């Protein structure tokens, strides 16, 4: 299995990096166990396709945990870059 690096990641057609990561660690149930979260929380994260804000404020380390258990399919850096939440703010 090839390691995804920042150089090769741009060439990949991965629409949902969270779904990809969950598949590589063995599915949502396995991801929930690894991250200490519920299956429903994993389902919501996958539906959004992004890591939670807490991943970028240092409160959680989900990307690192998933990368450690993916058998080299991707790196934590790749996942954090590809699964970044939208940073634009809308005023209502």
pTM for the whole structure: 0.80
- pLDDT for the residue numbered 35: 98
* 17-82 is a CATH 1.25.40.10 domain: no
- pLDDT for the residue numbered 87: 73
Q: b/e per residue, 13-51, with b = 16+ CB within 10 A?
A: ebebbbbbbbbbbeebebbbebbebeeeebeebbeebbb
Q: What is the pLDDT along the chain (92 residues), one digit of tens a residue?
A: 555 554 454 445 689 999 999 999 999 999 999 999 999 999 999 999 999 999 999 999 999 999 999 999 999 999 999 999 987 765 65
> Where in the chain are the domains?
17-82
- pLDDT for the residue numbered 69: 98
- pLDDT for the residue numbered 78: 97
- pLDDT for the residue numbered 14: 85
- pLDDT for the residue numbered 22: 98
Distance CA 83, CA 92 (A): 25
């Amino acid at each position: 299995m090839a390691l995804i690096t920042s150089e090769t990641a741009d060439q990949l057609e991965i629409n949902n990096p969270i779904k990809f990561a969950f598949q590589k660690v063995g599915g949502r149930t396995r991801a929930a166990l690894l991250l200490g979260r519920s299956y429903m929380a994993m389902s919501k994260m996958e539906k959004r396709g992004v890591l939670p804000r807490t991943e970028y404020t240092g409160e959680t380390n989900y990307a690192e945990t998933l990368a450690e258990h993916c058998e080299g399919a991707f790196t934590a850096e790749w996942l954090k870059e590809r699964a970044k939440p939208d940073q634009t703010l809308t005023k209502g």
